[in-house]
Amino acid sequence: MYPKLVPWLIAATLCVTLTGICSSSALNTTSAADRIASLPGQPQVTFHQYAGYVAVDEEQQRALFYYFAEAEGNPAEKPLVLWLNGGPGCSSVGVGAFCEHGPFKPSGDVLLKNDYSWNKEANMLYLETPAGVGFSYSVNTSYYKSVDDKMTAIDNLAFLRNWFEKFPEYKERDLFITGESYAGHYVPQLALLIVQSKLFNLKGIAIGNPLLEFNTDFNSRADFFWSHGLISDATYESFNTICNYSQIRRQSQSGPLTPVCSRVASESSREISKFIDTYDVTLDVCLSTVSSQSAVLNKLQETEKIDVCVEDEALKYLNRKEVQEALHARLVGISTWTVCSEVVRYEYQNLEIPTITILGELVKSGIHVLVYSGDQDSAIPLLGSRTLVNNLAKQLGLNTTVPYRVWFEQRQVAGWTQVYGDILSYATIRGASHEAPYSSPERSLVLFSSFLGGRPLPEGLLSESAVEKHS
């Protein structure tokens, strides 16, 4: 039913389990040294925070940086959630933790409390991966010259193995892996390694606006732009008959665009204009401020640098010396921390590896899978994601257990959802961007809470305390 899975996914399990990559002999195997006393400008909180390094290859001196915020209440009773941002090559700490759903958001010299932090529902672990992203590093810099999905998945599994040595109390905890954008590759590939190695208590994965299948995801952009009035009928026709988005993306990776594709791309760019943020077509350009990871994924020949606001605050904050000291972080081989890596050369051919097939393997293994879409994102539009999930359900022979319907946050429609076989789910977040928890924090928290609790998304009007009742 499915194409044969990439051989390295199976081989990597043995590699990580049987070789020295799993060794943690040089690590501080207790979490005490990584405890954060307080972050500069932070409001007072009751939960514990940790940050530091976990070695994933001692011979090559490669280590990944993490930030961990325990749950606000009853952390011992709540699951562990790993979050991965995409890119490939963008920071889960800078974007996920400090711009989206971490406990704080930087504002000038201080940190503001995030009322919709995901650590209200879970113990949140943010990982900067692969090495060369954020504070993560490889002393052997030849590693940066060609990084791919295989290397990233193996290191991510090694990270978890060794992180649990620091935090043994979480070893048997329910584990969920979440992420967005190019984490549509990172998350399923790591999850499959975990399933095959039988290492942890993995319960489910959730991925937002994920890259799952190159042609379907990229070619759905034309439909999205046209249906939202951003391109003309003539340009839409050009995408359907002359040169589509997957061709443009593929050509941009290997060299200049052909004259025909260049003409189509230029005309669509002119019509859309540089004053529309394609990662949320309804927001003013400065408001969708965590778009660097999307820009890496979306990089075309004519792409201009995206102006950002909140992301700039995170950039300034994480480059302060006292902040880096509080986080136990250091700059190795770089002079400044950046949101998306300027040293990693990722193998962009990996974008064409379909991961929708891996979602099928996870479902067959009993792992709950949620794919969700901010419905105003044109980078990875809902049209492609919804089609891929629906087709997967048909291939797996899963019956619809929750028919396509609206779901609510407080007293408003928050999006649409459909569930297949009580194990595979799709949902949209109404009005949300590519980075849904950033632009729609309340609705994203309701979706996250329901996913962790194994509950259907709310199908009626909610009271304002609905989320708190499930905490």
Asked if the model's pLDDT at residue 127 lies above 50, the reply is yes
Catalytic residue from among 294, 377, 440, 444: 377
What is each CA distance from 442 to 282, 287, 418, 439, in whole angstroms? 18, 17, 20, 9
- Segment 14-20 shows an average pLDDT of 42
Asked if the model's pLDDT at residue 91 lies above 50, the reply is yes
Taking only the tens place, the pLDDT of each residue in 158-214 is 999 999 999 999 999 999 999 999 999 999 999 999 999 999 999 999 999 999 999
Taking a C-beta distance cutoff of 8 angstroms, is the pair 379, 217 a contact? Answer: no
Asked if the model's pLDDT at residue 311 lies above 90, the reply is no
- The pLDDT score that the predictor gives to residue 465 is 44
Residue 287 has phi, psi (to 5 degrees) of -80, -30
The answer to whether residue 38 is catalytic is no
Which residues are within 8 A (CB) of 397 and not within 5 positions of it... i.e. 6 or more apart?
A: none
- In the chain, where does the domain assigned CATH 3.40.50.1820 lie? 7-213+350-469, 214-308
CATH pick for 214-308 out of 3.40.50.1820, 3.90.1150.10, 1.10.1200.10, 3.10.20.30: 3.40.50.1820
The answer to whether residue 138 is catalytic is no
Catalytic residue from among 91, 434, 439, 449: 434
pLDDT band of 255, cuts 50, 70, 90: confident
- The pLDDT score that the predictor gives to residue 428 is 98
Asked if the model's pLDDT at residue 2 lies above 50, the reply is no
Asked if the model's pLDDT at residue 450 lies above 90, the reply is yes
End-to-end CA distance of the chain: 40
pLDDT band of 310, cuts 50, 70, 90: confident
- The pLDDT score that the predictor gives to residue 312 is 84
pLDDT band of 13, cuts 50, 70, 90: very low
Q: What percent of the chain has pLDDT over 70?
A: 86
Decide which of 287 and 378 is more confident: 378
Asked if the model's pLDDT at residue 74 lies above 70, the reply is yes
pLDDT band of 295, cuts 50, 70, 90: low
Taking only the tens place, the pLDDT of each residue in 411-439 is 899 999 999 999 999 999 999 999 999 99
Q: Count of alpha carbons within 13 Å of 231, Cβ hemisphere only?
A: 24
Residue 82 has phi, psi (to 5 degrees) of -95, 130
Asked if the model's pLDDT at residue 307 lies above 70, the reply is no
Asked if the model's pLDDT at residue 157 lies above 70, the reply is yes
Rounded to 5 degrees, what angle do the CA atoms 93, 79, 363 make? 95
Taking a C-beta distance cutoff of 8 angstroms, is the pair 332, 143 a contact? Answer: no
Average predicted confidence (pLDDT) for the chain: 89
Residue showing tokens 């977040």: 429
Kindly report the pTM of this predicted structure. 0.89
What CATH topology corresponds to 7-213+350-469?
Rossmann fold (3.40.50)
- Segment 341-363 shows an average pLDDT of 96
- The pLDDT score that the predictor gives to residue 448 is 98
- The candidate with the shortest Cα–Cα distance to 141, out of 343, 354, 326, is 343
- The pLDDT score that the predictor gives to residue 275 is 82
pLDDT band of 274, cuts 50, 70, 90: confident
Asked if the model's pLDDT at residue 26 lies above 70, the reply is no
The residue count for the chain:
471
Catalytic residue from among 31, 92, 181, 373: 181
Taking a C-beta distance cutoff of 8 angstroms, is the pair 311, 95 a contact? Answer: yes
The answer to whether residue 136 is catalytic is no
Is the Cα torsion angle 327, 34, 126, 8 positive or negative in sign? positive
HEC letters along the chain: CCCCCCHHHHHHHHHHHHCHHHCCCCCCCCCHHHECCCCCCCCCCCCCEEEEEEEEECCCCEEEEEEEECCCCCHHHCCEEEEECCCCCECHHHHHHHHHHCCEEEECCEEEECCCCHHHCCEEEEEECCCCCCCCEECCHHHHHCECHHHHHHHHHHHHHHHHHHCHHHCCCCEEEEEECCHHHHHHHHHHHHHHHCCCCEEEEEEECCCCCHHHHHHHHHHHHHHCCCCCHHHHHHHHHCCCHHHHHHHHHHCCCCHHHHHHHHHHHHHHCCCCCCCCCCCCCCCCCCCHHHHHHCCCCCCCCCCCCHHHHHHHHHCCHHHHHHCCCCCCCCCCCCCECCCCCECHHHHHCCCHHHHHHHHHCCCEEEEEEECCCCCCCHHHHHHHHHHHHHHHCCCEEEEEEEEEECCEEEEEEEEECCCEEEEEECCCCCCHHHHCHHHHHHHHHHHHHCCCCCCCCCCCCHHHHCC
The Cα–Cα gap between 289 and 313 comes to: 10
pLDDT band of 254, cuts 50, 70, 90: confident
- The pLDDT score that the predictor gives to residue 293 is 63
